[in-house]
Amino acid sequence: MSRLVTERTFLAGKIFFNFGQSSIDCVVRRLSEEAATLEMESGLGVPERFQLRLAGRESLACRVVWRADRQVGVAFEQPGGEHPTGEERDRSSDALMRGQMLALRAALDHVPTGIVLLDTHLRARLINRSFRQMWHLPDEVADSNPSILTLLHHGRDIGAYEVPDPALDAHVRERVRVIEAGDPTPVDVRRTNGDVVRVQCTPLPDGGRMLTYTPVTDIVRASDELKLLRDALENVQDGVLLLDSSLNASFMNLRMRRFWEVSEEEAAARPAYAWLVSRAHRASAPDLPANELAKFPTKRVAEVMAGDHVRDLQTPDGRRIRAHCTTMSNGGRMLTYVDITDLNNKATMLERLATTDPLTGLFNRRHFLGALDAEWSRFQRYYRSVSVLMLDIDHFKSVNDRYGHAVGDEAIKAVAAACNEGKRKSDLVGRIGGEEFAVLLPETSLSRAKLVAERIRKRAMATRLNAHQVQFGVTVSIGIAEATVGMSGIDALMGAADQALYQAKDEGRNRCVAWTPEPPASKAAE
C-alpha cells in the first residue's frame, strides 16, 4: 500500500460494501498512513468492514474502530487478507491506538465545553473545536502544540479578556501560576464581548493538566442580578423577609434582622418563621389584651400560611407596622414590614382635626350629628332608647362684653370640662355652636338622661373663673329629649331637646327641663 501523508483535509470518498452492490458517500476529514476519520449523513449504516475509494487513489480495505452519530474512525487493513508480520502487527496496533485517539478527538470536538490537554511541560497536546471557536484560535496555532503561555497571550493579544490593559500581564501570570500548581478552584473569566467562561484545571495522572472552559454567561448574569437584587433589598427602608414553602427564612434584609434582633449568622441558618414570632414579643395585633398575647404567635403563623393578606401590627413601644404577605410562585411567602407610625399619627391628627373642636377638644357639630345618626338607625332597628341633651351657657354675651372674648373662651372650656366630667363613658359630647353644646346618650331613657343632665349642670355651676382680679361663676340651661317613634329623624330629636332648652331659659335658667310631647288633639280639647 502506498504511503499516505498525515493531513487534515476534506477529500470526497465513497464507501463500498456488500460485494460492491451498496455504497455510501462520505468526506474524509483526517487521513494518515494507517487510519482515517470519515463523515457521512449517518454512521449507523456503515458495516464493520468495507472498501474506501478516494478520487485518484487505490481502494483501501477498512475496518471500523469507532463510531459517532455522523462519523466513523477506520483503520486500514492489509490487502488480500495476508497474515501480518510482527512489524505489521505493531503498525496495526499503532493504528488502533491512533484510531482511538482520533475517536477521542472527534468526541471532544462535539462537546460545547472548551478542552485543552497539556503535557508535563504545559504544552497543548489536544485542543478541541469548542476552545478554538471560543477564543478564535487558528488551526495552525492549535495544531502546533502551543504552550499554555502562548494560548493565554493569544487571548490577551485579541483583546478577549475584560481586564484593564495595565493588569493584563499580571492576569496572564496568575493564570499560569494556577495551572502550574494544578489548583482545581473554578475561576470565572469575563470576556470583552460580555460572555463569561468558567475555567477549571484538573491535574492528570501523567503530570499533565486538563483545562475545561465552560460557558456560564446566563448563570453568572442570573447570579449578578440576584446579588444586585439582594444588595438593593438589603438597604431598603422597609423590612423584607422571604420564606420558603416550609416557612423557613431564606432571606432577611438588614431592616428585618434589626426588627427581629437576629444576627447575620442566625439569619443565614434559615430560621423558621414560627421561631421568629415566638422568641420575643416584637409585634402583635394592636391593643391586644394581655391574656391573648401568648396565643398571637400561633395565629400569626396560621395567617402567613393561609397566604396573601395585609395586617397592621403594633410593637411594645407603640409603633405601628403594616405587614404585607404575598404568596410566591415557589410556594413560599414574601413579608414586607412598613413602619406606618408617622402615617398613623398623621392620620389620627387629621381625623382629630376633622372631627373635633379646636378650642374645647370636644367633637365638632359634623361628627356629633354623624354619631347621632348612627344611634338613630339602631333606635329604629332595635327600638333601643336614645336621648339628647342641649346645653347653653347662661348670659354668655354678658361674660364676653364684661370680661372680653379670652375670658369667654375660658368659660366655654370650663363648661366643656364639666360636660366631660359629668357624662358617662358611653356618652358623646359635641360643641354645636358658639356657647352651645350637645350630649348624646346611647341606650338611655329620659329618666336616666335627667340624672346625667343634672350632674353636668351642678359641675358647671361649681366652676369658678378669674378675670381682672374678680372671681365669678357660670351656669348652664339644659334641655333633655328622648327619641320617640313618632319623630321623623335626628332633626326632630334635636329640635325637641332645643325646645326644652328654651323652656329652661324661660323658666329662669340654670336648670334642666325635659321635653314632653304634646297630647293628642282629642285629649287637648277635653
The phi-psi region of residue 395 (left if phi > 0; otherwise alpha if psi is between -120 and 50; otherwise beta) is left
**What is the Cα–Cα distance from 505 to 34, expressed in whole angstroms?**
132
- Which residues does 39 contact at the CB level (< 8 Å), separation at least 6? 26, 27, 28, 29, 70, 71
Phi, psi for residue 248 in degrees, rounded to 5: -100, 140
Q: How far is CA 17 from CA 42, 60, 131, 377, in A?
A: 16, 12, 37, 104
d(CA 116, CA 504): 110
Which candidate in 77, 435, 436, 482 is catalytic? 435
Q: Indicate the burial class of 468 (C-beta count within 10 angstroms; 0-12, 13-18, 19 or more).
A: exposed
Strands 249-252 and 239-243: antiparallel
Helix orientation angle between 396-403 and 405-422, rounded to the nearest 10 degrees:
140
Sheet with 476-482, strands from edge to edge, namely 428-431, 436-442, 386-393, 476-482, 512-514
Q: Are strands 114-118 and 187-190 parallel, antiparallel or unpaired?
A: unpaired
Task: Respond yes or no: is residue 7 known to be catalytic.
Answer: no
- Nearest in space to 103 (alpha carbons), one of 145, 68, 155: 68
Output DSSP code: residue 519.
Answer: P
Q: Do 456 and 389 meet the contact criterion of CB atoms below 8 Å apart? A: yes
Listed in sequence order, the residues at least 6 apart from 442 whose beta carbon sits closer than 8 Å to its beta carbon are 375, 378, 384, 386, 426, 427, 428
Contact, 479 vs 501, CB < 8 A?
yes
Question: Which positions are annotated as active-site residues?
Answer: 435
